[in-house]
Structure 1
Amino acid sequence: MTQLPQFSRALLHPRYWFTWLGITLLYLLVLLPYPVLYYIGCGLGRLSMRFLKRRVTVARRNLELCFPDMPLAEREAMVVRNFESLGMGLIETGMAWFWPDWRVSRWFQVSGLEHIAKAATDQKGVLLIGMHFLTLELGARIFGIHNPGIGVYRPNDNALLDWLQTWGRMRSNKSMLDRKDLKGMIRALKNGDIIWYAPDHDYGPRSSVFVPFFAVEQAASTKGSYLLIRSGNPAVIPFVPRRLPSGKGYEMVILPEERDIPLENEQATAARMNKIVEHGVLMAPEQYMWLHRRFKTRPDGQPSLY
């Protein structure tokens, strides 16, 4: 069972003072009007390209691998927009953790809530398929305002940030589960809960099978989807929180339930889940986390793609 972090006096130790300073500055920053935050966030993202050169290289490589037919100029423009989205992702984390519900809701359009309601009517839990968009924190917050659920997360190595991200995410959600707590996730699904779940990262060779993802024929993809869907029998519902252009706010699109997920083996399930993720990514490709080394795990004997 996942033990959630609690605030303690140990978090006031001087080793955390620099982190507290950053948190305070982020809190004060997000008091500004959203159009100003949009301008600042995009500017920070472009500026970060000068200092995060390795991540720029990773983003370029991921786009090259996934979209080999995309013209070079278009891919380069996508990289710039992606880092603008990275800057906004930092701002949006502060918005998600510190804004009141009314202010978050003011900047969001939400569609597809009927798909969640239908699952509740059918007395089924929901495996809410998220993707690692840079709008992740804010998307989870607005979804929770409408339908509180349970988030799946990786505990942070910094104890203060671990507590803060849990506190922030639980402002509009019910609880959190460690991503390794499969039994807890299955139990929650059987109880009719909503589990926020992202199957689109590389979780290493022991936890993965190799199936296509965009143009990469053998991408390490999690085995967890097979276990959760087979054991929990949930409604599998994807959602996409995407940022609208020119500081106009956000749109959260909850897509219809994905039916007939193949469960004959882990590979078949993972391949179908990757197709679901691809569809979601293409709804806002410049906002996806391309700077992550998505393809770092390779089949035995194959060279690194980076």
Structure 2
Amino acid sequence: MSNPHPDTFRLSFLCPRYWGIWIGYGLLRLIGWLPYQTKFRVGKTIGRLLYRVAPSRRRLVRKNLTIAFPEKTDNDLASLVKEHFESLGISLIETSINLWGDHRKGPNNNQTGTHQHYKGLENLEKVAGQGVLLLVPHFTTLETTGLMLSKITQFRPIYRKHDNALMEYLITKSRTLTSGEGDTVKPLMNTDTRAMIKALKAGEAMMILPDQRYRAKGKVDVPFFGRPAPSNPGICKLAKLGNAKVLPVFTRRIGTDYELNILPGLENFPTGDDYQDVLRLHALYEAEIRENPAQYLWSHNRWSLKKGKDF
């Protein structure tokens, strides 16, 4: 029997081994009913709790920030770690908004949209009709980035399959959105290269998250904040084989508002030199991270640090 599609509910999801996930999911649903401003206060509180109950993750965040910003004082780093955990907590709130926000009720419901602002829309318009790779690094605003993009263009989010079947179902459900044109936007698994290239050649857009640690065949070690980081050059190959333009997209959370900025399509990309191409992308990420350090995903082990030795 073939495996069910990830957005198909299974009765096995009701088994006791999934109850912990359902409890967390239920709490997110309760948060979804709170007033908009209150959600963010709750998110910060969740982040502060995570800071206290996850010492290993807290040490990893601190080490990553120390590598990226060696010029910062201990007090500055300590404040940045706490601010980052608050941002992580708010990202859970953003997942709740993505799952149950007013946009789910129809394209004319735009209460959340009053807090969302766009820059660089002309850059997206310039590549209309061509395959597009929307390059979205791992900031804690990721869920909101997908939601905001869905309001202005139809695209396919690229994602890595989750090891837990219920989490896979819930993530797929969260990232399946209705575009501004009323079309359904469904995620595409990152292992389906053939489908991705086909979509790009057909003039479709895809949102891809290219900046996390990559240790599979074909990786390249490219400096990230001056330290070699195992990186995936796959975006270079996708852009070439799909004849696609690459547009970096960055989203900043400013209080309870959001600003999504679409940068111009990269010229002369890819060049055929994976190392130099990824180095160019890293420079773009670093520039944005320096402007918005607390909202980058420092809780990820980007440099393959060893627990107990490095943090």
TM-score (norm: length of structure 1): 0.90
Is 2:52 aligned against 1:50? yes
- How big is the alpha-carbon RMSD for the aligned residues of Structure 1 and Structure 2? 2.0
Is 2:227 aligned against 1:221? no
Structure 1 SS opposite 2:53: coil
Question: 88, 92, 108: which is aligned to 1:90?
Answer: 92
Q: CA deviation at 1:104?
A: 2.8
**d(CA) in 1 for partners of 2:80, 2:30:** 30
Tell me which amino acid in the other structure corresponds to 1:241.
Answer: T
Unpaired segments of 5 or more residues in structure 2?
104-109, 179-183
Structure 2 SS opposite 1:49: helix
Structure 1 SS opposite 2:44: helix
Tell me which amino acid in the other structure corresponds to 1:182.
Answer: T
Answer whether contact 1:225 1:269 (CA < 8 A) is retained. Answer: no
Q: CA deviation at 1:8?
A: 2.7
Question: 146, 151, 158: which is aligned to 2:157?
Answer: 151
Tell me which amino acid in the other structure corresponds to 2:284.
Answer: I
Is 2:185 aligned against 1:174? yes
Question: 144, 163, 175: which is aligned to 1:138?
Answer: 144
Determine the structure 1 residue equivalent to 2:116. Answer: 108
Determine the structure 2 residue equivalent to 1:67. Answer: 69
**d(CA) in 1 for partners of 2:12, 2:95:** 24
Q: CA deviation at 1:76?
A: 1.6
Answer whether contact 2:177 2:186 (CA < 8 A) is retained. Answer: no
Deviations along 1:194-246, whole A, 9 cap, x unmatched? Answer: 11111110111524101111121x2111121221122112111111121113x
Unpaired segments of 5 or more residues in structure 1?
299-303
Q: CA deviation at 1:45?
A: 0.8
Q: Identity over aligned residues, as a percent?
A: 33
Tell me which amino acid in the other structure corresponds to 2:114.
Answer: R
**d(CA) in 2 for partners of 1:22, 1:96:** 15
Answer whether contact 2:240 2:270 (CA < 8 A) is retained. Answer: no
Task: After the TM superposition, list the runs of 4 or more consecutive aligned residues in structure 1 that deviate by more than 4 angstroms.
Answer: none
Answer whether contact 2:44 2:89 (CA < 8 A) is retained. Answer: yes
Answer whether contact 1:124 1:234 (CA < 8 A) is retained. Answer: yes
Q: CA deviation at 1:181?
A: 2.2
Q: CA deviation at 1:252?
A: 1.2
**d(CA) in 2 for partners of 1:107, 1:151:** 23
Answer whether contact 1:96 1:141 (CA < 8 A) is retained. Answer: yes
Q: CA deviation at 1:156?
A: 1.8
Tell me which amino acid in the other structure corresponds to 1:177.
Answer: L
Q: CA deviation at 1:262?
A: 4.2
* 1:227–1:305 Cα change, 3 Å: farther
1:14-53 equivalences under 5 Å are 14-53=16-55
Tell me which amino acid in the other structure corresponds to 2:201.
Answer: K
Determine the structure 2 residue equivalent to 1:261. Answer: 269
Answer whether contact 2:9 2:169 (CA < 8 A) is retained. Answer: yes
TM-score (norm: length of structure 2): 0.88
Answer whether contact 1:295 1:305 (CA < 8 A) is retained. Answer: no
Determine the structure 1 residue equivalent to 2:106. Answer: none
